[in-house]
Chains A and B, each alone.
Chain A
Amino acid sequence: MTALLEITDLWAGYGRQQVLQGINLHVDEGEVAVILGANGAGKTTTMRAISGMIERRGSVLFQGTAIGAASPDHIVHAGIAQVPQGRGTFTDLTVEDNLRAGAFVRKNTNDSIDTDIRQWFEVFPRLAERRLQKAGSLSGGEQQMLAIARALMSKPTLLLCDEPSLGLAPIITQELFDVLGRLNAQDGLSILIVEQNANLALRIAHQVFVLETGTITASGTPSEIAQNDTVRKAYLGF
């Protein structure tokens, strides 16, 4: 299987402080990869480095093309969409405009964008009910669903999810991972997820990477990872 995203020796940080100290990881085509790590380990930094939101050094290959120095809008054009931490809702825009905003990079006519918007309203009926409301009035769970739909409106090949379960009730979190699992299984979408809630994430994962203080300290399939005692104790809690 070919690697869709291949990251080699990636360094990144804020100002002089280097948070990522040469990480290596890859996401294969059609697979779900999960990054586990404590706060401050550099999970969000990894996501922002891949999306080009911060200065970084090192090689990032996406479908064989180097995107390690590209700007965020080029990376979205290339086919990587990100659901940022805290959902990044356009709170003053309506739910429908949020979805339209997600389709910003598409050259398509309005018709095909409208068709896709209708499709997402079928997937998430609660969004359809609030179509013309400002997105800021949605509950946390609804906003998270909207954020995922918005990211997918750009028709990406790879979806990055930064702590999607943060601040969500357990039942909503389960629903969310069900959706992500379905997207992967049915539509073949490749996904890279950063999560604290390891138990749920591992259920849909094919590959797991453990990130500690800016470096990848362990990697493998979920079952391999679950056998690693220290990792299990720190992230899975049993």
Chain B
Amino acid sequence: MGDILQYFLNGLARGSIYSLVALGLVVIYQGTGHLNFAQGEMSLFATFGAWWFNDHGVPLWLSILLAASFAFVGGGAIEFGLIRPAAKKSPFAVVVVTIGLFQAFNSLSGLLFKGAATGLSFGTIFPNKPNDFFRLPGGAVWRYENIGVLVTVLIITALLFTLFRKTKVGLAMRMVANNADSAKLSGVPTNKVLMLSWGLATAIGTIGCALVAGINTNVSLGTMFGVFLLASAAAILGGLDSPLGAVVGGLSLGVIESFVTNYPKDWWASTYIGADTATAAAFVIILVVLLVRPSGLFGSARVERV
């Protein structure tokens, strides 16, 4: 029983990071209908920036904030300079540009930060000494670090929800997401809104990446590969146009991953796939969900009129 609770808590920690990165994907997808394949690598690049600040004596929390601010500006600039002109050509051009950016940013990180390929040590802003935890009934431990990550993610999520539902900027974002032409005709400066979306998404992704780096205690070129993939899976699971779906999708994926990794200790496939079953199992689940509900659990199904 204690085991189950433990796996659940571990899964929540990991899942909350998937939720965060997935939220970034949803913010962009809602506004433009594009999936940013470079999201993980852009955030990774910014996180290397945070490492650099920290390495030069800036406190870690400030380094992460600085990196997130740069990511905000950089994300907006990339939307303005590359994505918008590409979108004028075709949606497929945007896919190509984001995949090109994926490769370019990953290589750029390797180029600028010595030792990035093998990994640079990265701290955490939460207490993570061996005995920093709560003991819960049944013997499960809940580490302060994991609580911190979860709480951070919940706060950011709550802020995003307030932004979307309660502010004029949020209304503008929803308008652009639903019908960009009509939004323009209602007086929304859509270009600014799109830049804002990209900036927000990249900044959120950077915080997510920094949190992952904190848990792993290091950051390397491969850090975001898996995280991005599971985050996008989470976004798809929840429905790419639903922020709530991203959060639920991310958390449940983290928990599923944790259980699949730990629970069936001696099942037949474990020799072949072992701990890596998690990713595979996660994708099988997503595939099944998508086949039943092509627009995800919370996504809005659009009725096509012909």
Contact = CB atoms under 8 A, between A and B. Distances in A.
Contacts of B185: 51, 53, 72, 76, 81-82, 84, 88, 151
B186 A104 contact: yes
A93 B178 contact: yes
Interface string B289-306: 000000000001011000
Given A72-B184, A84-B182, A101 B175 contact: yes
A91 B178 contact: yes
Main secondary structure of the interface of B (DSSP, over half): helix
A197 interface: no
B300 A92 contact: yes
A138 interface: no
Given A90-B178, A91-B178, A101 B184 contact: no
A73 B182 contact: no
A101 B189 contact: no
A93 B175 contact: yes
Interface in B143-187: 168, 171-172, 174-175, 177-179, 181-187
Contacts of B179: 88-91
Interface string A134-157: 001000000000000011001000
Contacts of B168: 104
Contacts of B303: 136
Contacts of A76: 185-187
Nearest to B185: A82
Nearest to B192: A73
B181 A84 contact: yes
A92 B178 contact: yes
B178 A73 contact: no
Contacts of B190: 73
A71 B189 contact: yes
Contacts, number: 69
Contact of A53 (B172, B177, B178, B181): B181
Nearest to A105: B187
Given A90-B175, A91-B179, A92-B300, A53 B184 contact: yes
Given A93-B175, A97-B171, A104 B181 contact: no
B175 A89 contact: no
A192 to B, nearest CB: 14
A97 B179 CA distance: 13
B120 interface: no
Nearest to B186: A104
B62 to A, nearest CB: 36
A203 interface: no
Nearest to B189: A73
Given A97-B171, A101-B175, A88 B182 contact: yes
B95 interface: no
B181 to A, nearest CB: 6
B171 A73 contact: no
B271 to A, nearest CB: 48
B181 A105 contact: no
A53 B300 CA distance: 28
Nearest to B182: A88
A88 B179 CA distance: 7
A154 B181 contact: no
B275 interface: no
Among A53, A71, A104, A154: residue with most chain B CB under 10 A? A104
B186 A154 contact: yes
A37 interface: no
Given A92-B300, A154-B187, A100 B171 contact: yes
Interface of A: 51, 53, 71-73, 76-77, 81-82, 84, 88-93, 97, 100-102, 104-105, 136, 150-151, 154
Interface of B: 168, 171-172, 174-175, 177-179, 181-190, 300, 302-303
28 contacts: A51-B184, A53-B184, A72-B184, A73-B189, A76-B186, A81-B185, A84-B181, A84-B182, A89-B179, A89-B182, A90-B174, A90-B175, A90-B178, A91-B179, A92-B177, A92-B300, A93-B174, A93-B175, A101-B171, A101-B182, A101-B183, A104-B168, A104-B172, A104-B175, A104-B186, A136-B303, A154-B186, A154-B187
